[in-house]
Structure 1
Amino acid sequence: MVYAKKVETEKEYEDAVKIRRKVFVEEQDVPLHLELDEYDADAVHFVAYDGDTPFGAGRIREIEPGIGKVERVCILPDYRGKKLGNLMMQCMEDYSISAEITKLKLNAQSQAILFYEKRNYTITSPEFLEAGIPHRAMEKQI
């Protein structure tokens, strides 16, 4: 069974971090100290599984009352192109609604903008570099 969920145990958190390391640190060369940052302790984390195998991760931080920031969304290469990013985002958006977050912001890697636009996020900034990777800020009312 393929599913995404809010992290509730230390093992689930470790699974999410493992995915983030593989995608951002190993695949995209983001320095570890930037990937695992000071916001991890306060963020709400999410992980996606195929049975017992983790394949996706993400986190949300409430940056202002009612405004959340979606961060660190990633899917392992073997699971990409199968609409599983949508599963991850839907789980995170459902959580946000239950937490009374009414607006989500994110910094999308430029190559992922179309994915977020299909989920009704709109671009709110020119392109900028984050960890050496081109991004654009986006947001969505939920």
Structure 2
Amino acid sequence: MVTVKFAASPIEQEDAFAVRRKVFVEEQGVPLNLELDEHDESASHFVVYEGMTAIGAGRIREIGDSIGKVERVCVLAEHRGKRLGKLVMEALEQHAAVTGMKKIILNAQSYAIPFYEKLGYIITSPEFMDADIPHRAMEKPIVGQEGKGPVHDSVPTN
């Protein structure tokens, strides 16, 4: 069974970091000092587990004015194409809504723009380079989940 879980413990956060290192550092060549950054301590992290194995991750942090910034969304290569990225984004969006965020922004790798557009994000910038990878800024208003409480429990999926 696949679950998306709020990373409430140091072990769960390390699971998220391990997935990120595999995808961004090993696969995409992002320097480790750019991938693991000063925002990791304050961000809310989510991990996708298949059984007890971490296979995906993402984080969100509030950057002011009820705006959340989604970052580091990734799924291990052998698990892509199973709609797991969508599950991570749904958990991040729900967390944003229940914690009072009104809008999410993100910097999408250019190849992933269609993925985010299907989720309702719109492009808000020309292409730019980040860690030598082309990106575009995107955003989406968040509505409908206010007052339900923070997301801390596993969300099982099929």
* TM-score, scaled relative to structure 1: 0.98
Residue equivalent to 1:42: 42
Residue equivalent to 1:133: 133
For residues 141 and 11 of structure 2, the distance between their equivalents in structure 1, rounded to whole angstroms, comes to: 32
**Residue by residue, what CA displacement relative to the aligned partner does 1:76-114 show, whole Å, maximum 9, x if unpaired?**
001101111111110111111110111000000000000
RMSD, aligned CA: 0.6
For residues 70 and 5 of structure 1, the distance between their equivalents in structure 2, rounded to whole angstroms, comes to: 16
Residue equivalent to 1:52: 52
Q: Does 1:121 align with 2:121?
A: yes
* Partner-residue secondary structure (3-state), 1:87: helix
Residue equivalent to 2:150: none
For residues 3 and 87 of structure 2, the distance between their equivalents in structure 1, rounded to whole angstroms, comes to: 7
Task: Return the letter of the residue paired with 2:85.
Answer: G
Task: Return the letter of the residue paired with 2:6.
Answer: K
For residues 21 and 33 of structure 1, the distance between their equivalents in structure 2, rounded to whole angstroms, comes to: 11
Task: Return the letter of the residue paired with 2:79.
Answer: Y
Residue equivalent to 2:102: 102
Q: CA deviation at 1:4?
A: 0.7
For residues 6 and 131 of structure 1, the distance between their equivalents in structure 2, rounded to whole angstroms, comes to: 27
Residue equivalent to 1:14: 14
Q: CA deviation at 1:65?
A: 2.8
Moved more, 21-30 or 3-12: 3-12
For residues 65 and 129 of structure 2, the distance between their equivalents in structure 1, rounded to whole angstroms, comes to: 27
**Residue by residue, what CA displacement relative to the aligned partner does 1:25-72 show, whole Å, maximum 9, x if unpaired?**
000000000000111111111111011110001111101131000000
Q: CA deviation at 1:6?
A: 1.1
Residue equivalent to 2:65: 65
* Partner-residue secondary structure (3-state), 1:41: coil
Task: Return the letter of the residue paired with 2:139.
Answer: E
For residues 5 and 64 of structure 1, the distance between their equivalents in structure 2, rounded to whole angstroms, comes to: 25
Task: Return the letter of the residue paired with 2:69.
Answer: K
- Identity in percent: 61
* TM-score, scaled relative to structure 2: 0.89
Runs of 4+ deviating beyond 4 Å: none
Q: CA deviation at 1:12?
A: 0.3
